[in-house]
Chains A and B, each alone.
Chain A
């Protein structure tokens, strides 16, 4: 009975391991990063996979051996000890195995968690370029405040320059993900998140909205083109020269639920990003009024929650560390 069982499972596991470990195929974009953040994350994925595999592969083999050796068959020579139910030595061994593995993984994880905190600037000789990202129903608005241009569903960046993405949402929470540059982060209304990414190579990278936001959220994919700095400058100049301006009315129109092709704008209303972030704060100058039930009384309550929350602060380092240590001791 076991033979077909193992025969099926073994190739499946080999396949799985092959997929996880090699990932050399061009289509495995998560494992084919083109920037420092994605690169570190890939290393971490490989490291944790190998560490886990070191434990689970022997366990899988052990399972197969035990099941085969102790199967009930006439004249089995394997020992049979129906009341053998405890061995302090063995049990200490297998409490220690996962504890040691998890300890190693925990140390690495904590180190990387701080190193790869998304709002931490990437070290570089070059000054970062800011791109303000706003998720709308069902399109992405990207604004380049330094160049004063804006795009829909398209990003162009120069290679080797850190990009500071500031993210918010004008609607439900989405998630901004360009796998080949690095991990995703949520875009949330009423807040401004920060995410630093960088492309080390020229190329065209896939990006998507990774969190469900309703009907046409699957259409919120976009392309990130990384080019040389000259090409990037030339593109900015071309957009400025040839594209229409994004007006406030134009923005209002964009916020209506619909999908969109790539669009380019030579300018955008000043402070638009701040307005979108602050629209729920009383007196914060709502960009537009379309949220919630129309009878929503905009009176009363003072709102401090909605103020832009930067995530860099790490004032309670020690407190949190003590916490986790206490738990690890259990």
Chain B
């Protein structure tokens, strides 16, 4: 198979779709890291919970995909806020690595419990009727659902960026991370803001989970390996900026897509190799400030 532009275009588009998952997940990590200085190892497990909640909403309450898209992030986000209130908050003032260890433990527990109750092969979740089928673009068959994923996640990413960088609430948030004492002096409830931020980051993970439920099997371990790739994305992008993590997410999705076409054997290592290169050339990451 030689290089043909049609196939190449198709792979680029497919890469963009994957990139939207990376972007949503790394954005959530960046939001949490920015405010809490915690690397949320449970992010993959919470992403998985999002997909499971979508499944339960449908199978138990008969609430379809569109409800899940709104409800799952809220439900999982609330769960995240409980975790933050009961556990993560106690780590304030300790080395950040404890946050990593705690969330790693939480990820093991969440995944283990789900595995116990739902086995490992997972549960089916159908594509919503309105988004079934696809369009023949000439160079590829584009399933409608995939197109929806790209558009929707891009919108969510930009909204989040706007919320944090351009609104008053976002300004408080950013200020609170720079100088919590001062912001508290202005009468802002900093701990509550931190809890809400964690909820927001977790909600984004859950949203990615709902988006992926119709594409991937809803499995307890669906987020376990994904989170490591997202970590690499975060290292490459640097966690300094919200926009940086969005752009890096999409970019690496495309890079991976191209690798799948030219040299599929390396497609699961390319992100890591790229990370090594970035670290050797620009240790602080593409957009980040030095840690």
Binding between chains A and B: no
- Where the two chains meet, the residues of A that have a C-beta atom closer than 8 Å to any C-beta of B are none
